[in-house]
Amino acid sequence: MDFDQYLTSLDGWSAYHGFKKMDIQPGLDVDRMFYKESSEASKMGVVDRFLYIKKVPDNINAEWARKFSSGLFEYSRQYKQTFGRFFRSMMIVNPVMAVDTISRELYDFIMSYCPKQFKAMEFPAILQLSTNDLYLYQKTPFWGALYYDGIRKSTSDYFSPKRWEQISQNQK
Protein backbone atom coordinates (compact mmCIF):
# COMPACT_ATOMS: atom_id res chain seq x y z
CA MET A 1 0.00 0.00 0.00
CA ASP A 2 1.43 3.38 -0.90
CA PHE A 3 1.03 6.41 1.35
CA ASP A 4 -1.84 7.99 -0.60
CA GLN A 5 -3.80 4.71 -0.42
CA TYR A 6 -3.01 4.52 3.28
CA LEU A 7 -4.33 8.06 3.86
CA THR A 8 -7.57 7.20 2.05
CA SER A 9 -8.00 4.13 4.26
CA LEU A 10 -7.03 6.11 7.37
CA ASP A 11 -9.73 8.68 6.60
CA GLY A 12 -12.34 5.92 6.50
CA TRP A 13 -11.13 4.06 9.58
CA SER A 14 -10.83 7.27 11.59
CA ALA A 15 -14.47 8.10 10.78
CA TYR A 16 -15.41 4.51 11.68
CA HIS A 17 -13.83 5.04 15.12
CA GLY A 18 -15.65 8.35 15.61
CA PHE A 19 -12.84 10.79 14.82
CA LYS A 20 -13.33 14.09 13.07
CA LYS A 21 -10.81 15.01 10.37
CA MET A 22 -9.42 18.41 11.30
CA ASP A 23 -8.12 21.23 9.14
CA ILE A 24 -4.36 21.45 9.42
CA GLN A 25 -3.24 24.82 10.71
CA PRO A 26 -0.43 26.67 8.91
CA GLY A 27 2.92 25.59 10.31
CA LEU A 28 1.66 22.22 11.56
CA ASP A 29 3.82 19.79 9.57
CA VAL A 30 1.54 16.74 9.29
CA ASP A 31 -0.39 15.04 6.50
CA ARG A 32 -3.53 14.38 8.57
CA MET A 33 -4.96 15.36 11.95
CA PHE A 34 -7.99 13.77 13.63
CA TYR A 35 -9.74 14.56 16.91
CA LYS A 36 -12.27 12.82 19.14
CA GLU A 37 -13.72 13.55 22.55
CA SER A 38 -15.13 10.58 24.43
CA SER A 39 -16.00 9.40 27.92
CA GLU A 40 -13.93 6.45 29.10
CA ALA A 41 -14.30 5.00 32.58
CA SER A 42 -10.87 3.33 32.39
CA LYS A 43 -9.32 6.77 31.95
CA MET A 44 -11.49 8.36 34.63
CA GLY A 45 -13.67 10.63 32.56
CA VAL A 46 -13.49 12.67 29.39
CA VAL A 47 -10.66 11.88 26.98
CA ASP A 48 -9.46 14.20 24.23
CA ARG A 49 -7.64 12.13 21.62
CA PHE A 50 -5.49 13.55 18.85
CA LEU A 51 -4.22 11.47 15.92
CA TYR A 52 -1.49 12.72 13.58
CA ILE A 53 0.24 11.09 10.63
CA LYS A 54 3.19 12.28 8.58
CA LYS A 55 5.18 10.61 5.82
CA VAL A 56 8.83 11.09 6.69
CA PRO A 57 12.11 10.06 5.03
CA ASP A 58 13.51 6.70 6.09
CA ASN A 59 16.70 8.36 7.33
CA ILE A 60 15.23 10.55 10.09
CA ASN A 61 17.02 10.07 13.38
CA ALA A 62 15.75 9.48 16.90
CA GLU A 63 16.20 13.11 17.94
CA TRP A 64 14.07 14.30 15.01
CA ALA A 65 11.39 11.72 15.91
CA ARG A 66 11.42 12.80 19.57
CA LYS A 67 11.03 16.48 18.63
CA PHE A 68 8.25 15.64 16.16
CA SER A 69 6.34 13.65 18.78
CA SER A 70 6.84 16.09 21.65
CA GLY A 71 6.03 19.04 19.38
CA LEU A 72 2.67 17.52 18.45
CA PHE A 73 2.00 16.76 22.10
CA GLU A 74 2.60 20.43 22.97
CA TYR A 75 0.44 21.58 20.04
CA SER A 76 -2.39 19.32 21.26
CA ARG A 77 -2.03 20.59 24.81
CA GLN A 78 -2.34 24.19 23.61
CA TYR A 79 -5.31 23.26 21.40
CA LYS A 80 -7.03 21.61 24.34
CA GLN A 81 -6.40 24.60 26.62
CA THR A 82 -8.36 26.82 24.25
CA PHE A 83 -11.46 24.86 25.32
CA GLY A 84 -10.65 25.37 29.02
CA ARG A 85 -10.62 21.66 29.77
CA PHE A 86 -6.95 21.02 30.46
CA PHE A 87 -7.49 20.01 34.08
CA ARG A 88 -10.89 18.32 33.64
CA SER A 89 -9.98 15.64 31.14
CA MET A 90 -7.25 13.30 29.97
CA MET A 91 -5.45 13.82 26.68
CA ILE A 92 -3.96 11.12 24.45
CA VAL A 93 -1.77 12.13 21.52
CA ASN A 94 -0.75 9.65 18.81
CA PRO A 95 1.91 11.13 16.49
CA VAL A 96 2.61 8.52 13.80
CA MET A 97 5.52 8.67 11.39
CA ALA A 98 5.16 6.68 8.17
CA VAL A 99 8.37 5.38 6.58
CA ASP A 100 8.98 3.01 3.70
CA THR A 101 11.48 1.00 5.75
CA ILE A 102 12.20 1.54 9.43
CA SER A 103 15.83 2.09 10.44
CA ARG A 104 17.40 0.42 13.45
CA GLU A 105 17.78 3.80 15.16
CA LEU A 106 14.08 4.61 14.67
CA TYR A 107 13.07 1.14 15.85
CA ASP A 108 15.19 1.51 19.00
CA PHE A 109 13.70 4.95 19.60
CA ILE A 110 10.08 3.81 19.41
CA MET A 111 10.75 0.79 21.63
CA SER A 112 12.25 2.99 24.35
CA TYR A 113 10.42 6.34 24.15
CA CYS A 114 7.90 6.63 26.98
CA PRO A 115 7.51 10.19 28.27
CA LYS A 116 5.58 10.67 31.49
CA GLN A 117 2.95 13.42 31.40
CA PHE A 118 0.32 14.75 33.82
CA LYS A 119 -3.20 13.55 32.86
CA ALA A 120 -1.94 12.97 29.35
CA MET A 121 -0.18 10.46 27.13
CA GLU A 122 2.21 11.06 24.28
CA PHE A 123 2.18 7.72 22.47
CA PRO A 124 3.98 7.82 19.10
CA ALA A 125 4.19 4.99 16.60
CA ILE A 126 5.97 4.24 13.35
CA LEU A 127 4.22 2.70 10.36
CA GLN A 128 6.44 0.81 7.94
CA LEU A 129 4.64 1.11 4.60
CA SER A 130 6.60 -1.69 2.89
CA THR A 131 5.16 -4.29 5.31
CA ASN A 132 2.19 -2.45 6.90
CA ASP A 133 3.76 -3.11 10.32
CA LEU A 134 3.01 -0.64 13.11
CA TYR A 135 5.78 -0.24 15.69
CA LEU A 136 4.97 1.16 19.13
CA TYR A 137 6.20 1.06 22.71
CA GLN A 138 5.61 -2.46 24.07
CA LYS A 139 6.44 -2.16 27.76
CA THR A 140 4.09 -1.01 30.50
CA PRO A 141 5.48 1.54 32.94
CA PHE A 142 4.32 1.21 36.54
CA TRP A 143 2.46 4.51 36.36
CA GLY A 144 0.62 3.36 33.21
CA ALA A 145 -0.42 -0.09 34.40
CA LEU A 146 -4.14 0.73 34.34
CA TYR A 147 -4.35 1.78 30.72
CA TYR A 148 -1.25 1.00 28.63
CA ASP A 149 -2.64 -2.22 27.16
CA GLY A 150 -5.72 -0.31 26.02
CA ILE A 151 -3.61 2.48 24.54
CA ARG A 152 -1.57 -0.02 22.52
CA LYS A 153 -4.73 -1.74 21.26
CA SER A 154 -6.50 1.48 20.31
CA THR A 155 -3.39 2.84 18.58
CA SER A 156 -3.27 -0.34 16.48
CA ASP A 157 -7.01 -0.11 15.81
CA TYR A 158 -6.61 3.45 14.56
CA PHE A 159 -3.42 3.17 12.48
CA SER A 160 -2.56 -0.44 11.54
CA PRO A 161 -3.66 -1.78 8.13
CA LYS A 162 -3.14 -5.30 9.48
CA ARG A 163 -5.49 -4.56 12.38
CA TRP A 164 -8.04 -3.05 9.97
CA GLU A 165 -8.02 -6.35 8.08
CA GLN A 166 -8.69 -8.28 11.30
CA ILE A 167 -11.54 -5.95 12.27
CA SER A 168 -13.07 -6.34 8.80
CA GLN A 169 -12.80 -10.14 8.98
CA ASN A 170 -14.44 -10.21 12.42
CA GLN A 171 -17.41 -8.24 11.10
CA LYS A 172 -18.21 -10.82 8.41
Q: What are the chain's domains?
A: 3-162 (3.40.91)
Mean pLDDT score across all residues of the chain:
87
Degrees, nearest 5: CA angle 112-116-117: 145
pLDDT at 151: 82
pLDDT-derived band at 62 (thresholds 50, 70, 90) equals very high
Coil vs helix vs strand at 21: strand
CB 113 within 8 A of CB 123: no
pLDDT tens per residue across span 138-169:
666 555 555 666 788 989 999 999 999 999 99
Q: Which amino acid is at 102?
A: I
Q: What is the pTM of this model?
A: 0.88
Q: What is d(CA 52, CA 71) in angstroms, rounded to the nearest whole number?
A: 11
DSSP per position, 33-101: EEEEEEEEGGGTEEEEEEEEEEE--TT--HHHHHHHHHHHHHHHHHHHHTTT-TTTSEEEEEEEEEESS
CB 90 within 8 A of CB 119: yes
- Answer yes or no: is pLDDT of 3 > 90: yes
DSSP per position, 100-164: SS--HHHHHHHHH-----SSEEE--EEEETTTTEEEE-----GGGTTTHHHHHHHHHHHH-HHHH
